[in-house]
Amino acid sequence: MGKHTVHVAVSIQDKLHAGPLLRKWGIWFWLIVFGVIFSLILPYFFSARNFFNIARQASIFGIMAIGMTFVIISGGIDLSVGSIVSFTSAVFGFVWQATGNVFLSIACGLLVGLLSGVISGILVGYAGLPPFIATFGMMGVGAGLAFGVTPGSIGGFPEAFEFLGNGRIVSIPVPVFFLIAFTAIAYYLLQKTKYGLRLLAIGGSETSARLAGIDIKRYKLGIYTLNGALASIAAIILCARIRSSYPGIGEGFELDVIAATVIGGANLMGGEGSITGAIGGAIFIVMIQNLFNLYGIYPFVQKVITGAFIVIAVLAKAKGMSGKP
């Protein structure tokens, strides 16, 4: 790794950590503000039962948001994560129904995410396709294959497997422990290793990163593979949580995950993002959806508002970068 690469990456990383406290921890500030508002609107909102429901769902989106953060920092986007969740769910259920072996079912489900990520990484990194086009195509392929594998829901999983999604350890939902573990690993990789510096360099200036000797193709392959794997892990936990698999289970997840990542501080132009911010964004999205569900607001309205949050977050980021009022 050349000195130029280090200078480029360190400069980007300095920007990532710069700014006042509110900018650095903004999403967590707004989580507190909206949490107080929501609890005043609906006292049941912060009951123990509802809190655990939010924690479980936010853990699933959070795991996916970690992978999406790496992708967006690199200057890419992945629209296929929702389809990967659906395809993983379908394959997991199909193998379980055919073999009754939950370990084999999990392995096959995770393989779906790995292979999907590898294909996206090859299309983006080696074939040179724009990430939007490559992953949009993968989104359609994954969604179609999911319903091709199994047209309906499959259940009857062992209680030990369902514990992954519904169990608690010291009163804390099990999915939260998965989220904490992946968050710690991802944070370390991004903030404390050469891998993170190189990733920031690629997203900040791909040309400079290439001139510095970084193998951009290999990095993009790895980034999309990681994202696909995390989406599959989230899918397995989701199947355990709802006690069934369904080929359309991940429909629309890509919007929620991208929204969480952007609201958490990621720059869609690349070179900037935060693991902890993405987790905060996932919690924020789930909190809003939870409130809407408690009020019985139609799903299409929820999608409109989620899309609006993405636009607002991107506009706020653009204003902040330009320095204009």
Which residue in 52, 50, 31, 53 sits closest to 42, CA to CA?
Answer: 50
Which residues is 234 bridged to in the sheet?
A: none
Band (12; pLDDT cuts 50, 70, 90): very low
pLDDT computed for residue 282 by the predictor:
93
C-alpha–C-alpha distance, residues 150 and 316, integer Å: 43
- Exposure string of 32-50, with b = 16+ CB inside 10 Å and e = fewer, is eeebeebeeeeeebeeeeb
Distance CA 276, CA 246 (A): 30
| Domain ranges across the chain | 3-320
**Kind plus residue range of the DSSP H or E element containing 169:** strand 168-169
Distances (CA, A) of 308 to 5, 34, 37: 36, 16, 20
The C-alpha atoms of residue 194 and residue 200 are separated, in whole angstroms, by 10
Average pLDDT over residues 277-284: 92
Task: Give the best-scoring range by mean pLDDT among 16-20, 219-223, 258-262, 296-300.
Answer: 219-223
Distance, in Å, from the CA atom of 325 to the CA atom of 312, rounded to the nearest integer, reads 15
Report the pLDDT value the prediction gives residue 319, as an integer from 0 to 100. 58
- The per-residue pLDDT for 14 is 47
Contact 248, 146 (CB under 8 A): yes
Residue 109 confidence (pLDDT)? 96
pLDDT confidence band for 180 (50 / 70 / 90):
very high
Q: What is the pLDDT of residues 81-132, one digit of tens each?
A: 999 999 999 999 999 999 999 999 999 999 999 999 999 999 999 999 999 9
Burial class from Cβ neighbours inside 10 Å (0-12, 13-18, 19+) for residue 299 reads exposed
Tokens for 184, please give them: 């710690």
User: Would you give the DSSP letter of residue 171?
Assistant: T
Q: Choose among 223, 233, 286: nearest CA to 69.
A: 223
- For 173, list phi and psi in degrees, rounded to 5: -55, 140
Task: Give the pLDDT confidence of 13-42 residue by residue, as tens digits.
Answer: 444 444 444 445 578 888 888 888 888 888
pLDDT category, 10, cuts 50, 70, 90?
very low
Quick check: 258 and 77 in contact, CB under 8 A? yes
Q: How much is the pLDDT for 164?
A: 94
Q: What is the mean pLDDT of the chain?
A: 86
Distance, first Cα to last Cα, the chain: 39
Largest interatomic CA distance in the chain: 61
CA–CA separation, 138 vs 81, rounded Å?
A: 9
Does 4 score more than 80 pLDDT?
Answer: no
| pLDDT (mean) for 177-184 | 97
pTM: 0.87
Give me the pLDDT at residue 298, please.
Answer: 75
Residues forming beta bridges with residue 173, ordered by sequence position = 168
What percentage of the chain has pLDDT greater than the value 70?
Answer: 89
Of the candidate ranges 1-5, 40-44, 177-181, the one whose mean pLDDT is the lowest: 1-5
Q: What is the pLDDT of residues 197-243, one digit of tens each?
A: 999 999 989 989 999 899 999 999 999 999 999 999 999 999 999 99
* pLDDT value, residue 317: 62
Q: How many residues does the chain have?
A: 325
Supply the CATH classification number for the domain 3-320. Answer: 1.10.3470
The answer to whether 280 and 24 have CB atoms below 8 angstroms apart is no
pLDDT, position 76: 95
